[in-house]
Amino acid sequence: MSAPVVARDREPGLDVLRGFAVFGILLANIEAFADPGYLHRAAPLVGADAVAADLVAFLVESKFYVLFGFLFGYGLAVQLGRSLSGVRMARRLAVLFVIGAAHAVLLFAGDILMIYAIAGVLLFLLRGISAKRAAVLGVSILALFAILLMIAVLSGSAPIGEPAPGKAESVLANYRGDAGDVVTQRIEDLREIMLTWWALIPIILAYFLLGLAAGKSKLLHGRVIPSTRLWKALVVGLAVGLPPAALFAFATDGSGSWGIAMQGVGYFTAPALTMAYAAAILLFGRTAAGSRVHAMLAPVGRLALTNYLAQSLICALLFTGYGVALAGETGLAGALAIAMVVYAAQVVFSGWWTRRHAFGPAEWVLRSVTYWRRQPWHSGVSTSR
């Protein structure tokens, strides 16, 4: 008799998309490590760093958190089909919030896990709605925020702040200081970021709802999506998503109000470009070379939470006073090169780990608390639902 295998919460295609999203999130977050005072920077970037910043704004910013959020909602729909109880979900979200809080204070103030936990509660309360209503509600929330931001800009009430003199230098010095300086500055940054949660939580909930709608429709499992449909999603997604992304990245009115307006449009259109990315990845997987890439991405996706946290740990050791304090030294272009090396290492590590273990370290903790039972550590062992 063959050895029992660990039951997974994920379909293979979801793992691939998660693995891809992990890479995009690292590219989006790396600037906050390499130049922690970038939000307060007065002088614009020049040369290769300026080009890198424009490309990240154009192709990366807001797109991969959409994909991650979509997959979170999709995963909930799959779990609901396996009778995930309210008590288990409460434990899961509570431990996710605790992990996120520790991550925000110790490693990265831009943590998304706490927001996911809060929005996850709202999503669970809405779990009974139909796929169609979930999609309509998600799109409506995004449209509402886009309209509100546009109105704020047109009425002149949008907050356009000027960089505080010396603020960028002060933040950079703290992140290059000792551990106490780093944590103190990170808590200050977190406090500022939390002031935006009133907007971020509904937006993330909207992405969750789109994923919930797709999950209830069994979009990514139980059947093969026709290539013609994927090509249509790719073309439509690029047509809808690229123009506003380009305007956000490359156009400016010099006052900052244009960026706020386009950020609002981006909330609404980023899912289209994200859809195009997902369709392209799935189509690529149907080629010989793509199937090999998928085989490398899937383990990264199975360890998505572990890899997300590990990225912050590695970057903290590289860029802050925790380690070699490279913040302010590499430039954005150099930081992106470092990000690619870090992700390549995660691909190798994830493949090695998943051949030997049932779950990643963070996934093991999350699942053990969710089911209130110690989960198997090594692969090839069965586990209860």
Q: What is the pLDDT of residues 229-283, one digit of tens each?
A: 999 999 999 999 888 888 777 766 545 566 666 666 777 788 899 999 999 999 9
Whether the model clears a pTM of 0.75, i.e. scores above it, the answer is yes
Angle at 305 between CA 301 and CA 311, to 5 degrees: 95
185 has a pLDDT exceeding 80: yes
Q: What is the predicted pLDDT for the residue at 168?
A: 87
Q: Assess contact for 43 and 166: CB atoms under 8 A.
A: no
Q: What is the predicted pLDDT for the residue at 244?
A: 83
Average pLDDT of the chain is: 87
The closest alpha carbon to 67, from 135, 122, 19, belongs to 19
Q: Assess contact for 336 and 301: CB atoms under 8 A.
A: no
**What are 378's strand-pairing partners?**
357
Query: Could you tell me where the DSSP H helices lie in the chain?
Result: 12-34, 47-59, 63-80, 86-106, 113-125, 131-154, 167-175, 179-194, 197-216, 227-250, 257-284, 288-302, 304-319, 331-354, 361-371
Q: Determine how many CB atoms are found less than 10 A away from the CB of residue 231.
A: 13
Q: What is the predicted pLDDT for the residue at 4?
A: 34
44 has a pLDDT exceeding 90: no
Q: What is the predicted pLDDT for the residue at 243?
A: 87
Tell me the residue type at 6. Answer: V
Q: What pLDDT digit, counting tens, does each position of 322-334 carry?
A: 999 999 999 999 9
Q: What is the predicted pLDDT for the residue at 13?
A: 82
Q: Assess contact for 242 and 32: CB atoms under 8 A.
A: no
> Which pLDDT band, with edges at 50, 70 and 90, does 384 fall under?
very low
Q: Assess contact for 365 and 95: CB atoms under 8 A.
A: yes
Residue linked to tokens 């691909």: 347
382 has a pLDDT exceeding 80: no
**Rounded distance between C-alpha atoms, residue 261 and residue 150, angstroms:** 5
Give domain limits for the chain: 12-371
